[in-house]
Amino acid sequence: MQYRIKGDIMQIVEIVLNRGESVYTQVGGMSWMSNGIEMKTSGRGGFGKMLSRALAGESMFLTTYTCVADQGMITFAASAPGKILPVPLKERYSIIVQRSAFLVAESSVDLEMHFRKRLGAGLFGGEGFILQKLTGPGTAFVEIDGEVVEYNLQAGQSIKVDPGYLAMYEPTVDYDITMVKGVTNILFGGEGLFLATLRGPGRVWLQTMPLSSLAAAIRRFIPARSG
């Protein structure tokens, strides 16, 4: 497999596959492709993983694209302004990403939902409670909203983050969600009900423009319906 990432604000990843190579994505994730690419939609991973995706609000099915010619090209586009990052994963090495970050991966990469805290809190707590876990071997591609800021946390070093700004982190990082303290902070702080605490060692990737924040900013300029 070879790839090129093109564009500045709305990026695409163009993947060239040799015969027999395949990649998979969420249903509807492909943008365009050449002849010689075969498409198959399935529940990939069995009923348990299908159910976990459904509980997380994701599609139960994933689509695999396999090259049946000597060579073929397939392209995937980011869904919002930002960056597409290639994530090379060694055997059994994992990375945790925001639930909306996964774009496409080689078929050898395993994708599963990663729930934080109790399942009930995850379903109703918003961003940061329901994540995705990618495990190698192989290369995965994730999309980051806005620009990317990377921190390498040392052992014991920690930062607090609005969960919407957390894009990706290594599994060595301890990650916990806590409710903002203080009635005044909750009612008037404007930062949401929850904060994520990330404690090293390990790398953390943050995004500067979560899609939810962009939508909220745009919503202010949309006239409210009357009647």
Helix (H) or strand (E) run with residue 119 in it: helix 119-124
CA distance 128 to 30: 26
Residue with tokens 């969600």: 177
Q: How far apart are CA 134 and CA 94, in angstroms?
A: 5
- pLDDT of residue 81 exceeding 70, the answer is yes
User: How much is the pTM?
Assistant: 0.83
User: Of the spans 5-19, 35-49, 181-195, which averages the highest pLDDT?
Assistant: 5-19
**Range scoring the smallest mean pLDDT among 54-63, 120-129, 134-143, 198-207:** 120-129
Closest Cα to residue 200, out of 159, 168, 161, 166? 159
- Is the pLDDT assigned to residue 169 strictly greater than 50? yes
pLDDT of residue 188 exceeding 50, the answer is no
Q: Which residue has the higher pLDDT, 160 or 215?
A: 160
What is the CATH T-level fold of the domain 2-219, as seen in this structure? Answer: Double-stranded beta-helix (3.60.160)
Domain ranges of the chain: 2-219
100 pLDDT above the threshold of 60: yes
